[in-house]
Amino acid sequence: MAAKDRKKQLARQRYERQQQRRAQEAARARRLKIIGAAAAVAVIAVGGVAFMVFTGKDDKSTAAEPKCAYKAAQQDGAPKDIGTPPAKPAYKDIVPTTVKTSQGDMEIQLYGDKAPCTVNSFAYLAQKNFFDKTECHRMTSGALNVLQCGDPTAKGTGGPGYQFANENTNGATYLEGTLAMAHSQLPDSNGSQFFMVYKDSQLPPDYTVFGKITKGLDVLKKIAKAGSAPKGDGKPKKKVEIQDVTIAGK
């Protein structure tokens, strides 16, 4: 091979080696770049998980428990030493309750899960014997079929000396056996008066539903059958006195 051709061959081989080396370096650089990007994604993913876990834990640990607001109010018949229920609801689930009356007993499930502040108040008053020896003062019939109780004066103007807001009214219906709060036309005016529905009734969803009668509905219907004076909306002809309200476990 001539010296000139030999030089060309060596130059071409050197060029090919350079190109191969450059290709290898470029491929290595690409691999490092890909690995670096994957690592970055992994860090972001881990960071995201850490953030979610931290946020969830933080939300759970700092989430405020339900607080109830009971505001003092001037009401007839309110005992001076009754006080107000604790702001923290005592019940979170169904609360079995017995209402003993002069006409018979009724067993009730209170909705501690759906109306915690109302149940908290009702149970508080029951444990203070607030309802004992109080007379159910109102019986209605027609579109509204209820027996109303919980007024220490039996005149429709009494209460415990405090008021609180509605609960569990969204889409509320007042079917037979419903236990709900009575209130005035003023906002947040629930007190101690409540009503028991003995027949499906037509009412706007503006009265807190906080329980239902599970046994003893026949007692309520017996009282209703006797009627009221005046007829349709008045004092029950068959006198009904609450003798005791017993909260399960209390």
Joined together, the tokens standing for residue 246 give: 């017993």
Least confident window among 12-26, 27-41, 69-83, 125-139: 27-41
**If you search the block for the tokens 């609450």, which residue do you land on?**
242
Least confident window among 4-8, 37-41, 190-194: 37-41
Average pLDDT score over the chain: 84
pLDDT at 180 over 90: yes
Sequence-distant (6+) residues with CB within 8 A of 177 are 196, 197, 212, 213, 214, 217
3-state secondary structure of 22: helix
pLDDT, position 24:
59
Burial 89-124 (b: 16+ CB within 10 A, else e): bbbeebbebbbbbebeebebbbbbeebbbbbbbbbb
pLDDT at 53 over 70: no
Residue 237 pLDDT grade (very low, low, confident, very high; cuts 50, 70, 90): very high
E strands of 125-172, at which residues? Answer: 134-135, 138-140, 146-149, 162-163
pLDDT, position 44:
27
Distance CA 48, CA 43 (A): 8
Residue 7 pLDDT grade (very low, low, confident, very high; cuts 50, 70, 90): low
Residue 34 pLDDT grade (very low, low, confident, very high; cuts 50, 70, 90): very low
Sequence-distant (6+) residues with CB within 8 A of 225 are none
Q: Considering the domain 71-247 in this protein, what is its CATH number?
A: 2.40.100.10
Residue 45 pLDDT grade (very low, low, confident, very high; cuts 50, 70, 90): very low
Distance CA 219, CA 25 (A): 93
pLDDT tens figures, 122-154:
999 999 999 999 999 999 999 999 999 999 999
Contact 204, 180 (CB under 8 A): no
What is the residue extent of each domain of the chain?
Answer: 1-63, 71-247
Handedness of CA 150, 154, 160, 165 (dihedral sign): positive
Averaged pLDDT for residues 51-58: 31
